[in-house]
Amino acid sequence: MASDGSALVRVLSYNIRSMRDDTHALARVIGACAPDLVLVQEAPRFFRWRKKLARLARASGLVILAGGATAAGPAILCSLRATVERTEDVLLPLVPGHHRRGFSTAVVRFGGARLGVLSCHLSLHKDERYDQGGMLLDRLAGMGVEHAVAGGDLNERPGGRTFTRLAENLQDCWATAPSGGEYTSTPADPHQRIDAIFATKGIEVLGCGVPLGLPGITDTDLRTATDHLPVLATLRIPAH
């Protein structure tokens, strides 16, 4: 913690494809990023899903904070630095014939810094996705916190309607302080940025991007862990 009560917080957003790939590589990538918060998309949702997610958290040196099947896929993991105030999993309106979507949310403290947290995986359908972007902004505004971070798989590139809607109201952390790689899909041929971390305006973004070249992270692990690349942001959260 800084002398002014602010806190440096490392936030990782990662679509883990229901842990259907190399889970050892996945745990190595997460652990090497040394995150305080992990915003997970496509967490296991079916048979023994809690046990699977707990195993990943333990292998990564983290604990489960919220989400999983109860949020239709998004989840939040955290380090023991975080003090948890509350959590809430939110199921979004279901459009017939579409996948159920949800938000995993929490309010946590790091010393004197208080932070709202939201993990999301937005719709493949553009109109539904745009509506969900509005719901995300409403959810952050209703959390009763001054500072918040949201991240996830947006299923849309910068310049799209929903991405633009979020970037007009929040800081797109990559655009604010690019660090590491930009493109998150696919690991074998990174050519598009569809995963992102956003922060409210009062948060200082020190760096954000795909964590390439970090000690302990290999290209092989990034390719075999899942079908997305992770996004890592280092943020300075002002004291509450």
Q: What is the pLDDT of residue 1?
A: 63
Give the β-pairing of 204-209 and 231-237.
antiparallel
Kindly calculate the radius of gyration of the chain based on its CA atoms and give it in whole angstroms: 16
Q: What is the spatial distance between Cα 66 and Cα 88, in angstroms, rounded to a whole number?
A: 7
Give the β-pairing of 75-78 and 171-172.
unpaired
Domains for the chain: give ranges and CATH numbers: 7-237 (3.60.10.10)
3-state secondary structure the chain: CCCCCCEEEEEEEEECHHHCCCHHHHHHHHHHHCCCEEEEECCCCCCCHHHHHHHHHHHCCCEEEEECHHHCCCEEEECCCCEEEEEEEEECCCCCCCCCCEEEEEEEEECCEEEEEEEEECCCCHHHHHHHHHHHHHHHHCCCCCCEEEEEECCCCCCCHHHHHHHHHCEEHHHHCECCECCCECCCCCCECCEEEEECCCCEEEEEEECCCCCCCCHHHHHHHCCCCCEEEEEEECEC
Q: What is the spatial distance between Cα 232 and Cα 240, in angstroms, rounded to a whole number?
A: 23
Q: What is the pLDDT of residue 240?
A: 80
Q: What is the pLDDT of residue 13?
A: 99
188: number of Cβ within 10 Å: 9
Q: Which residues of the chain have pLDDT under 50?
A: none
Closest CA to 229 of 238, 219, 239: 219
Question: Could you give the strand order of the β-sheet that contains 63-67, starting from the edge strand earlier in sequence?
Answer: 63-67, 75-78, 37-41, 7-15, 231-237, 204-209
Is cis: bond before 184, omega within 30 of 0?
no
Q: What is the pTM of this model?
A: 0.98
Residues 6+ apart with CB under 8 A from 69: 43, 44, 45, 46, 49, 50
Cα distances (angstroms) measured from residue 65 to each of 37, 105, 163, 223:
9, 9, 26, 27
Q: What is the pLDDT of residue 104?
A: 98
